[in-house]
Amino acid sequence: MEAGPVTASPPGVPLAAYRENGADVLLTCLDCFWRKTIDREALIARLQARGVDGERTGIKAVAQLATRPCPRCGGRRFDTCPAFP
Ligand SMILES: [Zn+2]
């Protein structure tokens, strides 16, 4: 276990770390299980544009940064995990 501030859920592995194995980001709606694979570099660039350090943003924390609701059910609760090639 790592010492650190208590958070609701750990942020996960930083996005930049996935460059090594070329994984993208799989976004899943927790309400209807709609899924979408997001290009990792495009996502990092979009976060940087919003003033977020995308390279250091954890794979799990990305889910909380979604700006748009689910296109299928309108839900706003998402999960994110790596999508390995
Ligand atoms: Zn949904």
Residues 6 or more apart whose Cβ sits within 8 Å of residue 52: 65
User: What does the pLDDT profile of the chain (85 residues) look like in tens digits?
Assistant: 455 555 567 899 999 999 999 999 999 999 999 999 999 999 999 999 999 999 999 999 999 999 999 999 999 999 999 999 9
Alpha carbons 18 and 40: distance in angstroms, whole number: 8
Distance 5 CA to ligand 1 centre (A): 31
Distance 78 CA to ligand 1 centre (A): 8
Q: Which tokens is 15 given?
A: 């996005």
Cα 41 to chain centroid, rounded: 12
In Å, the largest CA–CA distance within the chain is 39
Alpha carbons 27 and 64: distance in angstroms, whole number: 11
Distance 32 CA to ligand 1 centre (A): 4
Distance 8 CA to ligand 1 centre (A): 22
Distance 29 CA to ligand 1 centre (A): 5
